[in-house]
């Protein structure tokens, strides 16, 4: 296994600051395209609010579909960053340096996007704030027994924590940038740097804060996706009411999170010419993690399906049959191939494990994990206990537009972020901290 | 003592005529779906008649089962609502507060009987159907859930009348629209807290079963049929 090649320090600053100060034509094109796609999604949402949710493909009994699938998917993606970066920080992994900030940014943006979906999904989105426990003159509180309220609480906590966790390691970098920039950039970086002077006391405080946040964020991240799983598991619907759902969802979230991180790193490496920083060793390590999570996902999925099949309860079997050999079977087997076969073969065999295969496998896992959530949400709802109420579902252009546009929104946020801040923490490469404990 | 409203439906009498469905539409201002929306499964019927087939053609028997909100005592739809739009009223009714509903549709997912309906659009009535709206029943806006109320407006009317005349509500005095319209008199409505009421006696008869009783939701609709 190759170890990370050392890079000269003055070169680090030059390499990582260059994308901030130079804008190429390709960047502008990407920005405009992402912006247009995002605007299309917003227009579709406006149309849906104006006309009513009937413009979607949802119908009784499939009351939840594309939006909830995308919600779970994006909250899963958000486990890329914070969780992986926190684990790597707490275990003092040396190879984490070029990975952490890119990962933490994914978390914040994925949460911002994922958090939108429950609102998009509402019948009356303009009163979404009724879900929040705010003081009001009607003395009405939300229902704390509802898993949806646990969800709101968990996601708000996670978003707050993730923003802090992204921000803390940014402070030394923006302080440096403030010294070397003028105009609005200087004002922005100076404000964000909180007048950081790089004193020993400040480094010590930052180190402690980051360690503390890493610990907290680990617990929060695990609980967030457990709560998302409980949205389903707390109900009495067939194949939702499962005790395994909490850990199953957390596993799936970390799995898809690593996949998202691999895809983003591959794109960043290529477009920002960071080959010297994002080396094969980083992709190799993340690819190994991906295989591990793939195996864990396969184990959980097998446990879930095998016990249901062996138990042979008619209501559960109706859902299982629809997934495995009924109308949803093509999606199911695509999911198995994407989530297990592709990463296991391409990345499990050492000879085949390269940056390219890691990226391909990660992209496949993203597709597979989206399908996994779809297969959890829709077939269960389409097969309620009384067969007379069974139904079907197919998405409309509105749902496809909105869900597709969120990927553009992710790209847009990432493009803007990479223009404002170094995508790799510069200070982590500096001499006086490189031997530190952070 | 507070009332505890319940219903008994005699499946051996039901012939599947769906008069109850039509009566419910008229009483409760249910929107009339256009054919395209109905084909999509978006028609709203607070009471529906499920069909079960026994045997093979030509030796086939059809059994009908009117299914409405079962007004469960342990209703799975209630705890999952994040804004208390669905709650249990003191008379055991499972009540939907349209003004409070934000449309998460979680209650709909968690109802094992699939009797909750969502307003996918603002409701519309083809002229002159809007002229026959029942003034005692709210028109529900788009984006909220709705379902059978056991004709709570009729319950309230009878209670007010009885109070004005300073007498208790008599058994059989409250008649939801479906009960009133059933030509086979298959449906009986009344107070389960009154052991002498007709519905109480039917509910404790050997013929009474409850739908998906094993889920423990404790529905207050009792289905009567011959033991097998």
Q: What is the pLDDT of residues B21-54, one digit of tens each?
A: 999 999 999 988 888 888 888 999 999 999 999 8
Q: Is B224 helix (H, G, I), strand (E, B) or coil?
A: strand
What is the CATH classification number for the domain harbouring A266?
1.20.1630.10
Q: Which DSSP string do the residues of B161-218 spell out, in sequence order?
A: HHHHTTSPPPTT----HHHHH-TT--EEEEETT-TTSHHHHHHTSTTEE-TTGGG---
| CB-nearest partner of B109 from A52, A63, A388 | A63
pLDDT at A3 (0 to 100): 47
Q: Roughly how many angstroms between the first and final C-alpha of chain B, as a whole number?
A: 37
| A328-362 exposure pattern, b = at least 16 Cβ within 10 A, e = fewer | beebbeebbebbbbbbbebbbeeeebebebbbbbb
pLDDT at A436 (0 to 100): 45
Which residues, 6+ apart, have CB-to-CB distance to B176 below 8 Å?
B7, B27, B150, B151, B154, B189
Q: Which chain B residues have any C-beta within 8 angstroms of a chain A C-beta? A: 37, 40-42, 48, 50-51, 67, 76, 79-84, 100-106, 108-110, 112-114, 117-122, 141-145, 211-212, 215
| Residue where the block lists tokens 């496809």 | A400
Contacts A147 to B, Cβ<8 Å: 80, 106
What residues make up the domain containing A323? 4-434
Nearest CA in chain A to B65: A388
pLDDT at A437 (0 to 100): 43
Contacts B110 to A, Cβ<8 Å: 235-237
Position B228 confidence tier, pLDDT thresholds 50, 70, 90: low
Q: Is B122 helix (H, G, I), strand (E, B) or coil?
A: coil
| CB-nearest partner of A64 from B109, B142, B212 | B109
User: A142 and B118: CB-CB below 8 Å?
Assistant: no
Q: What is the pLDDT of residues A61-105, one digit of tens each?
A: 999 999 999 999 999 999 877 778 888 888 888 888 889 999 999
Number of domains composing chain A: 1
Question: Which portions of chain A are predicted below pLDDT 70?
Answer: 1-8, 431-438
CATH of domain B5-224: 3.30.70.20
User: A59 and B104: CB-CB below 8 Å?
Assistant: no
Strands B221-224 and B5-10 come out as parallel
Query: Which residue in A131, A378, A389 has the most chain B C-beta atoms within 10 A of its own C-beta, making it the best mutation to test that interface?
Result: A389
What is the rounded radius of gyration, in angstroms, for the C-alpha atoms of chain B? 18
Domain boundaries defined on chain B? 5-224
ipTM of the complex: 0.92
CA dist B210 and A156 (Å) reads: 42
Nearest CA in chain A to B142: A52
pLDDT at A320 (0 to 100): 96
Q: Does residue A156 belong to the interface with chain B, where contact is any CB pair within 8 Å?
A: no
CA dist A267 and A262 (Å) reads: 9
Q: Does residue A58 belong to the interface with chain B, where contact is any CB pair within 8 Å?
A: yes
pLDDT at B167 (0 to 100): 95
Nearest Cα neighbor of A265 from A362, A159, A405 is A362
Average pLDDT of the residues in B69-83: 95
**Contact predicate A347/A358, CB 8 Å:** yes
Q: In angstroms, what separates the C-alpha of A55 from chain B's closest C-alpha? A: 8
pLDDT at A7 (0 to 100): 64
With 0.80 as the threshold, say if the pTM is over it.
yes
């Amino acid at each position: 296994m190759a170890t990370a090649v050392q890079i000269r320090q003055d070169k680090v600053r030059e390499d990582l600051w260059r994308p901030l100060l130079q804008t190429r034509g390709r960047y502008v094109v990407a920005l405009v395209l992402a912006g247009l796609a995002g605007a299309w999604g917003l227009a579709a949402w406006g149309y849906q609010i104006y006309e009513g949710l009937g413009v979607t493909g949802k119908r009784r009994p499939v009351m939840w579909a594309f939006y909830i699938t995308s919600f779970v998917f994006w909250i899963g993606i958000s486990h890329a960053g914070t969780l992986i970066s926190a684990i790597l920080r707490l275990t003092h992994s040396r190879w984490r340096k070029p990975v952490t900030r890119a990962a933490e940014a994914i978390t914040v943006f994925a949460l911002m996007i994922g958090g939108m979906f429950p609102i998009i999904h509402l019948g009356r989105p303009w009163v979404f704030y009724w879900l929040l426990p705010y003081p009001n003159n009607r003395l009405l509180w939300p229902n704390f027994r509802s898993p949806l309220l646990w969800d709101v609480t968990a996601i708000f906590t996670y978003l707050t924590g993730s923003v802090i966790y992204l921000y803390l390691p940014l402070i030394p970098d923006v302080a440096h940038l403030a010294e070397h920039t003028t105009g609005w950039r200087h004002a922005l970086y100076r404000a964000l740097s909180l007048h950081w002077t790089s004193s020993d006391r400040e480094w010590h405080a930052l180190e402690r804060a980051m360690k503390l946040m890493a610990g907290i964020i680990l617990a929060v991240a695990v609980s967030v996706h457990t709560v998302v799983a409980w949205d389903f598991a707390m109900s009495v619907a067939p194949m939702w009411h499962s005790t395994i759902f909490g850990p199953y969802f957390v596993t799936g979230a970390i799995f898809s999170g690593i996949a998202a991180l691999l895809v983003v790193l591959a794109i960043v490496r290529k477009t920002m010419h960071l080959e010297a920083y994002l080396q094969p060793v980083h992709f190799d390590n993340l690819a190994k993690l991906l295989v591990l999570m793939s195996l864990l996902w396969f184990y959980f999925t097998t446990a879930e399906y095998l016990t249901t099949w062996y138990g042979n309860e008619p209501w559960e079997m109706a859902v299982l049959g629809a997934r495995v050999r009924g109308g949803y079977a093509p999606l199911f087997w695509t999911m198995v191939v994407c989530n297990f076969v592709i990463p296991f073969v391409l990345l499990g065999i050492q000879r085949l494990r390269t940056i390219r295969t890691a990226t391909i496998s990660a992209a496949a896992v993203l597709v597979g994990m989206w399908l996994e959530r779809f297969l959890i949400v829709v077939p269960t709802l389409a097969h309620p206990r009384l067969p007379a109420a069974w139904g079907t579902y197919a998405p409309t252009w509105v749902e496809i537009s909105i869900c597709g546009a969120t990927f553009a929104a992710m790209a847009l946020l990432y493009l803007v972020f990479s223009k404002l801040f170094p995508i790799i923490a510069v200070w982590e490469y500096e001499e006086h901290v490189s031997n530190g404990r952070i | 003592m507070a009332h505890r409203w319940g219903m008994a439906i005699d499946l051996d009498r039901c012939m599947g005529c769906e008069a109850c469905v039509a009566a419910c539409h008229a009483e409760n201002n249910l929107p009339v779906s256009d054919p395209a929306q109905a084909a999509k499964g978006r028609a709203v019927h607070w009471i529906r008649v499920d069909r079960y087939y026994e045997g093979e053609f030509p030796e086939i028997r059809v059994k009908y089962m009117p299914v409405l909100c079962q007004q469960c005592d342990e209703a799975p739809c209630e705890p999952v609502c994040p804004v208390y739009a669905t709650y249990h009223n003191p008379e055991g009714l499972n009540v939907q507060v349209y003004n409070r509903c934000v449309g998460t549709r979680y209650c709909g997912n968690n109802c094992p009987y699939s009797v909750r309906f969502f307003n996918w659009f603002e409701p519309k009535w083809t002229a002159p159907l809007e002229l026959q709206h029942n003034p005692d029943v709210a028109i529900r806006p788009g984006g909220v859930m709705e379902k059978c109320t056991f004709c709570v407006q009729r319950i309230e009317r009878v209670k007010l009348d009885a109070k004005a005349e300073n007498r208790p509500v008599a058994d059989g005095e409250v008649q939801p629209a479906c009960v009133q319209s059933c030509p086979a008199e298959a449906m009986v409505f009344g107070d389960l807290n009154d052991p002498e009421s007709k519905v109480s006696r039917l509910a404790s008869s050997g013929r009474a079963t409850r739908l998906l009783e094993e889920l423990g939701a404790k529905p207050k609709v009792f289905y009567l049929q011959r033991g097998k």
